[in-house]
């Protein structure tokens, strides 16, 4: 069973519908006692880094997510949820993140007057390192909506990247902790396959499938 973390700032409906299309069992909860039973966790997110960390702390989920990851079960952050996995963000002033991955979240620099921020649209992934998330997949386009990106990261943890003025870490992973800067649930065939690979990793680990 996949658990979707509900802390008030996630695209819960679209993520849940994607799992339904994949015929993957899931539940949505803000209760850590329920979430700790999940075979894999999805941490979605839309909005401000600082607001998200405030809500996670208020619901006593910061320590839980760190403990869950330390226990070895797969964790996937989506969009803002991926950024929350890192050390800190400069958005609305410096804010400490979950610190599960090393890096800092900064605003995408505008390279030309024509370059639009936020970045909204389809960009092609470039695969950089092997990962169970990329198993059986080919490079294709996925859908981004963001104004900030991960910088000062460990390059060995960047599984796939996209170009938008700068190289944007798009899929990241370290051991059982993964992130996708784009919205896989809105990214057509490749996005669904990436989600499928994550859920397969989680459920097969526990012998569910």
Domains of the chain, by residue range, sit at 2-205
- List, for residues 12-63, the tens digit of each pLDDT value: 989 999 999 999 999 999 999 999 999 999 999 999 999 999 999 999 999 9
Structure tokens at 87: 């050390």
Q: Which of 91, 146, 153, 183 is catalytic?
A: 183
User: Which residues of the chain fall below pLDDT 70?
Assistant: 206-209
Q: In terms of Cα–Cα distance, which of 56, 46, 35 is closest to 9?
A: 46
Q: Which of 79, 146, 153, 157 is catalytic?
A: 79
Q: Which of 88, 153, 157, 185 is catalytic?
A: 185
∠ CA 63-16-121, rounded to 5°: 95
Tell me if residue 183 is catalytic.
yes
Tell me if residue 79 is catalytic.
yes
Q: What's the first-to-final CA gap in the chain, in angstroms?
A: 10
pLDDT for res 102:
96
60, 32 in Cβ contact below 8 A? yes
| Assigned CATH for 2-205 | 3.40.50.880
pLDDT for res 209:
44
Predicted TM-score of the model (pTM): 0.95
Tell me if residue 185 is catalytic.
yes
What does R_g of the chain's alpha carbons equal in angstroms?
16
79, 44 in Cβ contact below 8 A? yes
């Amino acid at each position: 069973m996949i658990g979707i973390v509900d802390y008030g700032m996630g695209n819960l409906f679209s993520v849940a519908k994607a799992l339904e299309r994949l015929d993957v069992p899931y539940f949505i909860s803000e209760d850590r006692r329920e979430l700790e039973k999940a075979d894999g966790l999805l941490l979605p997110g839309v909005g401000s880094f600082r607001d998200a960390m405030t809500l996670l702390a208020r619901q006593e989920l910061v320590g839980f997510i760190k403990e869950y990851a330390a226990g070895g079960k797969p964790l996937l952050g989506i969009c803002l949820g991926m950024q929350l996995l890192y050390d800190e963000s400069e958005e609305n002033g410096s804010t400490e993140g979950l610190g599960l991955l090393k890096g800092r979240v900064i605003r995408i620099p505008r390279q030309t007057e024509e370059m639009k921020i936020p970045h909204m649209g389809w960009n092609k992934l470039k695969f950089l390192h092997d990962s169970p998330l990329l198993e059986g997949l080919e490079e294709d386009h996925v859908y981004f909506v963001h104004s900030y990106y991960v910088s000062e990261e460990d390059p060995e943890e960047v599984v796939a990247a996209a170009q938008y003025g700068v190289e944007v870490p798009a899929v990241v992973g370290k051991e059982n902790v993964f992130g996708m800067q784009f919205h896989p649930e809105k990214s057509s065939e490749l996005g669904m396959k990436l989600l499928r690979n994550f859920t397969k990793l989680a459920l097969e680990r526990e012998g569910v499938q």
